[in-house]
A and B are shown apart, each in its own frame.
Chain A
Amino acid sequence: MEQNLNELKEIMLANPNLDRRIKSDAWSVSYNRRADMVLMGESFPKGSFYVPVEDGVLVRIGKNKKIYGFAIENAKSFIKRNPRGVGLALSFIVYPIRSMLFTLPVLFITYQAARMRSILSVSDFFAARTTYAV
């Protein structure tokens, strides 16, 4: 346990610019439905392997401890255990159709709200004009 933690600390220290790399290398994310596993990162080169982090989360590193990506085992149960935050973000990848059913009403409401706002602003404009005219 202690050894694992030390290993993870070493990996963290060996990747100080991870955030920048994630953006510059345009890491991608995909869901392997048949293995129930979410993969994210760049291409995993020969020689790279996983180090378990916690709760089904794995980090893929090379021999030089460079991080090539992450994986989440048992993605569906991970989402159930973490319904907020990371789990919520992953649910869009794991359940794209269900997420679409969720996002469409939100978009619809946003659209309706925006439409209503535009109507109200025109109405306000009209009211202001008419008041000024009077």
Chain B
Amino acid sequence: MLSWKILHRFVEGMNHEPVVWFEEDYLAVRDGKKNHTGHLEIETHFKTVREAIENPNEVRQDRNEDKRKCYYAWFSGDKDYSNQHMKVVLEHTWYGKIRVLTAYFTAFFPEGEETIWNKT
């Protein structure tokens, strides 16, 4: 059964629209499934996730899905992770909300994503 409990709220940095992260979406990304660890970085580096959404360096259009946009923040590294991008994928839903789909550290930008906004 779908859970609509909102775990985190943000205001995205490009158009200043509200964004939600549903608890079930968050847990699915963090915990993965049986025999998998998901993306632990969303918990250990939640501040960087928030920064990517609220104060991104760059926003890119997803290459396949019009409703999905990728928000990037540069992370300068720590004892666990080297310097790289935090990528957060946001989706405009049919019921009018913008929700977080997934988030993770990535070494560089993938090909095919078009930059639609950047901080400079």
Hey, which bits of chain A sit against chain B, CB under 8 A? 1, 3-4, 7, 28, 30, 32-37, 39, 41-47, 49-52, 54-56, 58, 63, 69, 73-74, 77-78, 81
Contact = CB atoms under 8 A, between A and B. Distances in A.
A49 B106 contact: yes
Contacts of A41: 36
Contacts of A36: 101
A81 B34 CA distance: 28
B32 interface: yes
Contacts of B29: 32, 35
A32 B64 contact: no
**Which A-B residue pairs are the 10 nearest by beta carbons?**
A52-B110, A49-B105, A43-B37, A30-B33, A35-B102, A28-B35, A77-B64, A47-B80, A51-B107, A74-B64
B106 A39 contact: no
Contacts of B32: 30, 32, 39, 44
A49 B36 contact: no
B60 to A, nearest CB: 12
Contacts of B22: 34
Contacts of A30: 32-36
B114 interface: no
B40 interface: yes
A78 B62 CA distance: 13
Interface residues of B, number: 37
Nearest to B80: A47
Contact of B36 (A39, A46, A73): A39
A50 B110 CA distance: 10
Interface string B20-50: 0010110011001111111111001000000
A50 B107 contact: yes
Nearest to B105: A49
B64 A44 contact: no
B82 interface: yes
Interface in B43-93: 44, 62-65, 68, 80-82, 84, 89
A14 B47 CA distance: 32
Given A32-B102, A44-B39, A52 B111 contact: yes
Most chain-B CB neighbours within 10 Å: which of A7, A30, A63? A30
A59 to B, nearest CB: 10
A7 B107 contact: yes
